[in-house]
Amino acid sequence: MADDGRGRAVPSGRLSRFGRFGRLAGGVAGGVLAEGTRRLAAGERPRMGDLLLTPANAARVADQLAHLRGAAMKLGQMISMDAGELLPPELTQILARLRDNAHHMPPAQLERVLATEWGKDWRRRFRHFQAHPIAAASIGQVHRAELPDGRALAIKVQYPGVAGSIDADVDNVATLLRVSGLLPREIDIAPLLAEAKQQLHDEADYRREAAMLERYRTLIGDDPAYVVPGSVPELSTGQVLAMDFVAGAPIETLEGEPQAVRDKAAGALVSLVLRELFDWGLMQTDPNFANYRWQNETGRLVLLDFGAARTVEPATQTGYHRLLMTALDGDREQVREAAIAAGFLGEAAAARHRAIVDRMIDVIVAELHRPGTFDFGDRGFVSVVREEAIPMARDRQTWHVPPVDTLFVQRKVSGTALLCANLKAQVDLRGTIEAHRHAPLGGKS
């Protein structure tokens, strides 16, 4: 993530973090009062939703979530990526800022963290340690360093207090968004909250991430499409993760590259998701764009950040496999049954809204079977499916929450599709899926 030089100490105590939420709620309320007074004086009769969703209030929320980091910021990122097309435009834009907007620790706080993890003489281990971070995200910040033998490293340092504040922060953010009205009542984020807590606990365990990093290096092997940095065990702890520094440009820079280059990168992204799901049974479930970089000179994807890596349950593998293969076969009845069996679609909704479900399936299957490559940049069919789904979404009696494991996987699938759409890439999607028709499901890498 880009950094603009803003160093702000991370509130590490529970009381200080709770106080931040209290002041934020008060600031939002004050903003509502001020905006309401202004509009009334102008002869308007504003709705409460208009007062809450002002740019000033949304900016207050985004700024404080970025200051708190950890669960607070991560939840904002997850909401923006998972439900962005359902949220009010004002909130979507603000939350999207959290994907690439974080404050870093000031030098004194960084020094205390590293002295605790490595000892007071930790600087003797390095020829050079760059004090200013090269990236600052929700859980930690990354510094470039060089060992005495010249080996270049990337050192990820966790913000203090993040691990112990996860559950409370997630609950506080959810309450804040509900009470402030910044999150529509129609969106049930309970499954997302549970996912956020577990994922954050996993991401805050850097020893676990180091193990996942090495598992991915083994699985990728010598595949020329990808690069995975190696870990440095002797410098890694529960709150510091040391790994090789791998050069690469932000994945978004591909947007200005020729079509063939964008297509190659997107093809590697799609292939990776299918291999994770069907071949390995292990998936890095955080599709944040910052977790990918691109080496233009080698044409390889650099894969980063494995804190959100987790095994995929055999039932989830089987459900996705059946759904995709029946879609390739173009059998509407089988697709509907597969969607219900996989937990994507509730039986009540499928029964009450049969015609709508069938029309949605027809649109998706037709798109998959269009001649030539699949054009991720042409998202016209998405709006068609969304319009069809509106009556189902309004029928709360048939609302259905997919299995938690499916939510993890679908987040990666959806995020990858979004990235490919941003690249306006064209991929042989049918052929890539078909290559996994006889995948060895049920195994664990």
Residue 46: predicted pLDDT: 37
pLDDT of 405: 85
Of residues 348, 337, 342, 349, the one with CA closest to residue 312: 342
pLDDT tens profile 325-372: 999 999 999 999 999 999 888 898 889 999 999 999 999 999 999 899
Structure confidence at residue 395 (pLDDT): 78
Count CB neighbours of 236 within 10 A: 21
Pick the range with the lowest mean pLDDT from 51-55, 147-151, 156-160, 354-358. Answer: 51-55
Of 99-113, 337-351, 423-437, the poorest mean pLDDT is in 99-113
**Sequence-distant (≥ 6) Cβ neighbours of residue 356 within 8 angstroms:** 388, 389, 391, 392
Concatenate the DSSP letters of all residues of 76-100 into one string. Answer: HHHHHHHSTTTS-HHHHHHHHHTTS
Q: Is the pLDDT of residue 292 over 80?
A: yes
Query: What is the structure's pLDDT at 157?
Result: 95
Percent helix, strand and coil across the chain, each to the nearest 5: 60, 10, 30
Q: Which residue has the higher pLDDT, 186 or 110?
A: 110
Question: Tokens in use for 388?
Answer: 């069809």
Q: pTM for the complete prediction?
A: 0.77
Q: In Å, what is the CA distance from 123 to each residue of 159, 160, 327, 332?
A: 19, 20, 57, 63
Buried b (16+ CB within 10 A) or exposed e, 276-288: bbbbbbbbbbbbb
Q: Mean pLDDT over residues 105-119, rounded?
A: 93
Residues of the chain with CATH 3.30.200.20: 106-158+205-246
pLDDT band at 403 (very low <50, low <70, confident <90, very high): confident
Mean pLDDT, residues 77-101: 49
Q: Is 286 a catalytic residue?
A: yes
The per-residue pLDDT for 174 is 72
- What average pLDDT does this structure show over 153-165? 88
Q: What band does 45 get if pLDDT is binned at 50, 70 and 90?
A: very low
Among the residue ranges 2-16, 57-71, 169-183, the one predicted with the least confidence is 2-16
| Superfamily of domain 106-158+205-246, CATH level 4 | Phosphorylase Kinase; domain 1 (3.30.200.20)
Integer Cα distance of 59 and 91 in angstroms = 9
Which has more confidence, 117 or 12?
A: 117
pLDDT of residue 44: 44
Q: Which residue has the higher pLDDT, 160 or 404?
A: 160
Q: What are the tens digits of pLDDT across the range 407-424?
A: 889 889 988 998 999 999
Per-residue pLDDT of 222-258, as tens digits, reads 999 999 999 999 999 999 999 999 999 999 999 999 9
Rounded Cα distance, 13 and 161, in Å: 6
Predicted pLDDT at 166: 79
pLDDT at 211: 96
pLDDT reported for residue 57: 55
Question: Can you give the pLDDT at residue 10?
Answer: 45
DSSP for residue 7 = B
Does residue 187 have a pLDDT over 80?
no
Q: How many angstroms separate the CA atoms of 428 and 15, rounded? A: 53
pLDDT tens digits, residue range 2-40?
Answer: 344 445 454 444 444 444 434 434 444 444 334 333 433
So what's the pLDDT on residue 389?
81
Helix (H), strand (E) at residue 70:
helix 70-82
**CA–CA gap between residue 46 and residue 32 (Å, rounded):** 11
pLDDT score for 176:
64
d(CA 418, CA 377): 9
In tens, the pLDDT along 85-95 reads: 444 555 555 55
Q: What is the pLDDT of residues 197-220, one digit of tens each?
A: 877 888 889 999 999 999 999 999
Q: Which of 169, 205, 286, 405 is catalytic?
A: 286
